[in-house]
Each structure stands twice: as C-alpha cells, then as structure tokens.
Amino acid sequence: MQNCKKIENVIAHFIEGHKLMNQGQRYLVALSGGPDSVSLLRILLDLGYQIEAVHCNFHLRGEESDRDERFCSQLCQGLNVQLHLVHFDTRTYAELHQVSIEMAARELRYQYFEKLRCSIGAAGICVAHHQDDSVETVLMNLLRGTGLKGLEGILPLQGYIIRPLLCINRSDIEQYLHSIHQDFVIDSTNLIDDVTRNRIRLDVIPLLEKINPAFRKNVARTTEYVGMAVHALEHYVNNYISLKSGIELYLPQEAGDTTISDASATITVQSIMAFPSPELLLYTMINLYGFSGFQAEEIYASMNKSGKVWHSKTHQLLVDRGKIFIQPLPDHVSNNMRIPEEGNYVFSKNLKLLINYGQPVVSKENDTATLDAGKVKFPLTLRYSQEGDRFVPFGMKGSRLVSDFLTDLKCNLFEKQQQLVLTDATEKILWVVGKRTDNRFRIDSHTEKALVLRVLNPDSAEDIR
C-alpha cells in the first residue's frame, strides 16, 4: 500500500464487506495516542463516520500516562472531535479483584466503554486491533493450548466491539501516518519483552519471518480459512444440539434476559456419543459455561464414571449415571430463613413457603406437608441440608442420615446440595422439603390441629388464607 487513499479504500471495503458500521450512526473510538488508535481515528474521520473519542488514563506510567492524555486532548481539539476522558486507579482495582494489572486495565476500560456507549447512544466501540495483533493472538493461543476458535484470531465484530483495521498491518499504519504527516506517542512498555505478547512481537515473529518472510500474511490468510470452517462447524453442531433429544442447554435467549451465571444444562452421555466427533461436541457445549479444553478432555475420559465434579469460574459440572449436569456454583451456604409464625415467606427466586393451620388430614402431595401443630415449636428454620443431618422418615422408627435417604431416591450430588430441610426450635428436622416428613411430628389420632406447609414458585398467585 503506497498511499493513504489506498489504505482508506481497503478499510472502507472491509467495513462494508463485514457490515461493521453505518453512515449516520455515532461511534466511539478508543484512543490511546499510539499509532494504531491515531490512524483509526483519522481514517474513520476521512471516511465520513460520526465519531467521538475516549481516552483512559490508567496512571501506570507516571508522567508518560499524563503525556498521552495531553496528546489525545490536543489531537481531538485540532480535529474538532469530542473527547471523553476517564481516570482509573488501576493498581488498587487489581488488588481488590485479585487480578493482574493487565487484566485490571482491560476490565476497567471495557466496562467504561460500554457505559459510555449506552449513555451517548453510540452504535459501537471502535478499537484499533490490526492484522499483526491477530497473528500475535493466534500464536499466544497456540502456546496456551487453544481450540479451533482460538485459531480464528481476533474477530472484526464481537458484540459492540468493532475492529475496522484487521485488514491492514503495522507497516501499513506506519506508512499511512507518515503520508499524512501525523505524529503519535509511543508506550515505552511495548518496547520491553517482559510480557508474553511483547516477547512474541519482538522476539518470536522476527525469527519466524527469517524462515519465511511471508509468515504474517500466511497466518492471517489461514485464520480466515479457520474462521470459515469454525462457522460451518458451529452451524452443524448447533443444528445437532437443537434437534437431538437428551441435550438441554438453558442459556440466555436475549441480552438482558439473564446472565450466563444463571444458566444450566443436562446432557446425556448417549447423545454426545452419537455425534461424529463426541469430544468436540462436549467441548462446544461445556465451553459455554466456562469450562476449558483441558477440562473437556478429563470429562470426556470420565463419562462412564459417576460422582466426579469439575468447576469453572461460574459453574460446577457433575458426571452421574450416564448424564452430565451443569449448574451455577452454589452460593447458599449461609442462606437460612427464620420463620417466627404462620404466614407466607419467600425463601429465594425459586421458592415460596406458605404456613397456616388446618384440619388434621395427612397430605399425599409432594409440595405439601401436614404435621401435628401441637408437637412443633416455633421459630422454624428453612435451610439447605448439611452433612450429618438426621431425621426419622415418615412411617419408620429409626433415624437416617438425610444424605443416605436422598441416595436411596437416586438424587445426584447437585440435587443433594440443593435439598432444603425445615427444622423447628429444637433443631429437629420436620420436613425434607418435597420428599418426606419426620415421623415424630406425624398426625395421629390425638392430633387436634395440623400445621400445613406448602412450597410454591414465587411467581404463583396462589395463596393460603
């Protein structure tokens, strides 16, 4: 590429081909002051897009950070572009959230970008990743042991994040800026090979280019082919998932419906093994819940066993008797509810407990328990079952561990974790909720009044008066 107009035309064609942006809509440009983001700002302006810039000062490089902010302010003032400035205490954020400085800066800027985008009604956030960044990402993913998606490189469009410069490389950007006599600032930390990406950029890629000068171009072309293959494969896999019985993935349907942390899944081993590439199908599904490729290998090797559990950052996965269960990590350790008297109580988003007095008739419904009111001492406590809990199942004389009782009912580990029990003031279990009442509180010929307990979904309009 010999001149700026040719580069602009290539980018304009790339934007149109990938349907990244529309004339007449507003966009944010993430502006650091470096050559990549400065060229992105200038090119989008010359192409006629309505843009505003945003600069983050992370206060990590002392005077150099302030120098970058001054440069961005002067540049936008000269180009008549509105600039949004934000300051972050990045080190404190990293310590509080126990993440690296690099991850802290990433989280802070993208969280702010999205809030700003919503507040000004922007259609997207343009960032200056280019072809060389994508090549570096592929190499980093290979080092980490990536799946196919990691070999796609950086995508042109991810949600509201737009990358118009993926069709050009660092050399093109330098030529462009030189041709329009545009200066920029340099982040000195990019010149030090103490970070994985920098080491790949400064040491590994130059060595590979000595072997083959067309290395970057060849990798970029390969990522395009991989992307095509991944999209075709995803289409095939998604069709299989939607049509195959035995696969139930509960995921957000639309933005704002729920979060991935609320999602769950039930998958039969049989449905996985019926797919031409079972391990690929397994990884595709469990990756939605944050499980890694290494974990997928372990899970695949353990599908004929029962009882083993794996954890991602948000979910737990259990293989049990020919099924794979995926559920959010439990957060109910201290979720106990004290019940001082009869009434209606909402325990969680999934359960409401109704308590009143009634006729001494034994209930045969799983969601309802009737006890001898004269034997029950308030206050009651509704809580999750704990190790060592014992009760006397209805119709029996001796006590049993609640966990053994649930095992006899073929409840899996997750179902045991979520099992509720209701206790009275003496801490005796009155009811293993939805399963069995305690025989010591049963209605008999001497019962004068029953305590009626019923569980409902909180959305239910039903009430007991």
Structure confidence by residue, pLDDT tens digits, 101-158: 888 999 999 999 999 999 999 999 999 999 999 999 999 888 877 777 788 889 999 9
Indicate if the pLDDT at residue 209 is higher than 50: yes
Tell me the C-alpha distance between 456 and 79, whole Å.
Answer: 62
pLDDT value of position 149: 76
Tell me the C-alpha distance between 3 and 7, whole Å.
Answer: 7
pLDDT value of position 257: 39
Are the beta carbons of 453 and 344 closer than 8 angstroms?
no
Residue range 268-284: mean pLDDT, rounded: 93
pLDDT value of position 391: 96
Whole-angstrom distance between the N-terminal and C-terminal Cα of the chain?
A: 79
pLDDT value of position 1: 44
**Which residue in the block uniquely carries the two structure tokens 């997207």?**
124
If one compares 334 and 185, the residue with the highest pLDDT of the two is 185
Sign of CA dihedral 113, 114, 119, 122: positive
> Which domains are assigned to the chain?
4-214 (3.40.50.620), 244-328 (3.30.465), 337-456 (3.50.40.10)
pLDDT value of position 430: 96
Q: What is the pLDDT of residues 174-185, one digit of tens each?
A: 999 999 999 999
Q: How confident is the model at residue 245 (pLDDT cuts 50, 70, 90)?
A: confident
pLDDT value of position 255: 36
User: Do the bridges between strand 368-372 and strand 450-456 make them parallel or antiparallel, or are there none, so unpaired?
Assistant: antiparallel
If one compares 465 and 276, the residue with the highest pLDDT of the two is 276
Are the beta carbons of 441 and 371 closer than 8 angstroms?
yes
Q: How confident is the model at residue 261 (pLDDT cuts 50, 70, 90)?
A: low
If one compares 26 and 190, the residue with the highest pLDDT of the two is 26
pLDDT value of position 458: 57
Residue range 406-430: mean pLDDT, rounded: 92
- % of the chain residues with pLDDT over 70: 93
pLDDT value of position 296: 92
Are the beta carbons of 416 and 318 closer than 8 angstroms?
no
Sign of CA dihedral 372, 377, 378, 382: negative
Which residues are paired to 50 by β-bridges?
26
pLDDT value of position 463: 44
Residue range 294-304: mean pLDDT, rounded: 92
**Which residue in the block uniquely carries the two structure tokens 């649930």?**
406
Indicate if the pLDDT at residue 465 is higher than 90: no
Are the beta carbons of 464 and 342 closer than 8 angstroms?
no
Are the beta carbons of 277 and 236 closer than 8 angstroms?
no
pLDDT value of position 464: 37
Are the beta carbons of 67 and 60 closer than 8 angstroms?
no
- Residue 15 CB neighbours (<10 A): 21
If one compares 188 and 63, the residue with the highest pLDDT of the two is 63
Half-sphere exposure of 52 (CA within 13 A, CB side): 16
Q: What is the pLDDT of residues 40-78, one digit of tens each?
A: 999 999 999 999 999 999 999 889 999 999 999 999 999
Helices 131-144 + 215-243 axis angle, to 10: 60
Tokens of 395: 């119709």
Q: How confident is the model at residue 193 (pLDDT cuts 50, 70, 90)?
A: low
Tell me the C-alpha distance between 41 and 22, whole Å.
Answer: 16
Q: How confident is the model at residue 452 (pLDDT cuts 50, 70, 90)?
A: very high
pLDDT value of position 411: 92
Are the beta carbons of 239 and 276 closer than 8 angstroms?
no
Half-sphere exposure of 228 (CA within 13 A, CB side): 5
Q: How confident is the model at residue 331 (pLDDT cuts 50, 70, 90)?
A: low
pLDDT value of position 286: 92
